[in-house]
Structure 1
Amino acid sequence: MSLKMDYSSFPRDCHTMDTLERQLICPICLEMFSKPVVILPCQHNLCRKCANDIFQVSCGPSRGTTLGSSGRFRCPSCRHEVVLDRHGVYGLQRNLLVENIIDIYKQESPLLKPECPTCEEHEDEKINIYCVTCRVPTCSLCKVFGEHQACRVAPLSDVYEQHKSELTDGIRTLVASNERIQALIAELQNTCRNVEDNCKARKQTLCEKFERMAGILEERKEIMLQRVSYEQAEKTRQLRALSEAYEARVEATSKLVNTALQASEEPQVPLFLQVGR
């Protein structure tokens, strides 16, 4: 299915076109999207080749260069994880709208793009080589007659491809490193959860043990209190019985004393002897 658009209504000023171009840059290769363009469920776009390169790097060497393989893919823009089917990256949906916008942009952009920059030393001479020694772009006349005669130079396209390749490799390395770090973070989080679960279980076990010990101590306390109460009651009973016996003896002794006093006061001898007997 192709999308038709009215070119006459397409914005043509340089600022708008530059803004549009930035929206059409792949976050991996930093170039304009190369078709086919795939769209992820998070609505971010990638060149399918770039997406496949990242997927192969994240899968590791065991996966090789297999184009169709299921697995998980992280969006390099938002880190949203996408579950791929058996077709792998090639099973992602193409963004035909972006592809058509790219076609329109490429048709319109030559009218708005500035010309190739020229050399400051040689007027109207385009910059077409790269000074490897000084690490600056320059023109052919600077190499033949100018300040870069003794320098080593290389074609701009070669240096561009080299730098682009190094940048792409660096991006792939960073993406792979991020994947490893994400895996490490997940492992650390899992370890933290295990530590929390283990400590929770240990706390529960300790609480149960102390509750059992508290129950045993409470039971022993009741038994000992009952024993003390029994001993108290028994000793009190014995002491009260002994006290009552002594009180009865004191009462009997008092009566005997009273009788003896009465007898001692008897004036008649026969009666005194009779009472004393």
Structure 2
Amino acid sequence: MRNSILIVFFLLIQNILLANEVEHHSLIVKAFSKDGLVKTRLMPLNPTSERKKANIQKYEEIKKGRVLKKEANLISHISAKVENEIVFDMSFNPLYLYSTVYKFRDIYKGTNVQYIITDNEKNKKKLDFKFNRRNEQKIPLSERIPNSKNSVIKFRKTKPKIWRSNNIQQAITELYGSNIDIIEDKINLKIPKNVVCNHQIVISISSNMDLESLAIFVDKVPGITLAAFSFSRFSVIDYKLGLSLYNGRPLNGKKYTVTIVGKSRDGKFYKATSKGFLSPDLTYDSCL
């Protein structure tokens, strides 16, 4: 039910965007704080001219089964700070990831969040948003925040090859190395088993582990890597990601696989995999 509401919300936003010209890179952000957590709905907003280029690029990539060298200039990295404390950091493939719902621990140092967005041409822009605080817990900050370093890793810059890998194992090796022991639990992954709208696939991820990073791989996405997160001490690993596979070319009747690999701060690796099926009756109209 919640995923359905999320899909409808972002469909409405997308319809508004299609009806209006957008000239600059920006974000749509909706957030509120309750019981010590700030829940945020986040959607990148790219110029209309670049979105048109992206639609053509997306079609050609899936048709050819590989990443094109010439990229539309879309937002591909987003980080967020509250009073200079990093609360969110995500590198992603902007052709296929269209929305994110995430949470972070409320720092109780005001209600302003500063987002730093970076596009494919490495241009940066700062944007400020405020959130509403519905209640406030009187708990000392030291008891709310785990003792771990507050730093992030910008994977678009530090691991450029994972966005152009040919298969999931190759991307994992490029990101974390080849000789790693992976534990097959501790990360919860949910995806639709039978997709009736390949333009709006919601991926849910959660974990109680103290991870420093996590990456998401989808076999039907050229370049394999959908997103890579770097976690700070304020991060809460509880995400819902909106994946779009619609490309003007049928993917009807095909299976798809989502794989998650995370690295904990003590050097251990965790993995989760789930498979789904794209309905034979997929059409863009089925998303409406």
Same fold (TM over 0.5): no
Larger relative helix fraction: 1
Query: Please, what TM-score do these two structures have when normalized by structure 1?
Result: 0.18
Larger relative strand fraction: 2
Q: Which is greater in Rg?
A: 1
Query: Please, what TM-score do these two structures have when normalized by structure 2?
Result: 0.18
Q: Report which structure shows greater RCO (CA 8 Å, sep ≥6).
A: 2
